[in-house]
Amino acid sequence: MIFIKCRMNDLKNKEVIHIETGVKLGYVDDIIVDISCCRLLSIVIYGKLKFFGLFGREDDFIIRWNDIEVIGKDTLLVRCKIRDQKCQKGGAKFISSLFK
């Protein structure tokens, strides 16, 4: 097994692309970590700003770590369904489902 180190700062510079459709979802903005077992659970892509941020922002994309297919030099390729729990818009429902 080969281990390659990657820092959070390196992840933030990578573009996230849906592997089946080629849609660019954005860049990694944050991560969700389970601190009880020191495991990375998900990556978070913040929603786009509405009217320069004056009207808030769209829902965030939260993508589970298991849905990441490839971590390349500049991109992350993910395989997830937008309306499925695995790649869901809106973080509150996803995060609450982790602790049930």
List pLDDT tens digits, range 47-89: 888 887 678 778 888 999 999 998 888 899 999 876 443 444 4
Superfamily the domain 8-84 falls into: PRC-barrel domain (2.30.30.240)
Q: Is the pLDDT of residue 25 over 50?
A: yes
**Mapped to the 3 state alphabet, what secondary structure does 14-39 carry?**
CEEEECCCCCEEEECCEEEEECCCCE
pLDDT, tens digit (0-9, with 9 covering 90-100), for 27-36: 999 989 998 9
Q: How far apart are CA 55 and CA 23, in angstroms?
A: 25
Find all residues with CB under 8 Å of 24, minimum gap 6, and list them.
15, 16, 17
Cα 33 to chain center, whole Å?
12
Question: Does the predicted model carry a pTM greater than 0.95?
Answer: no
Give domain limits for the chain. Answer: 8-84
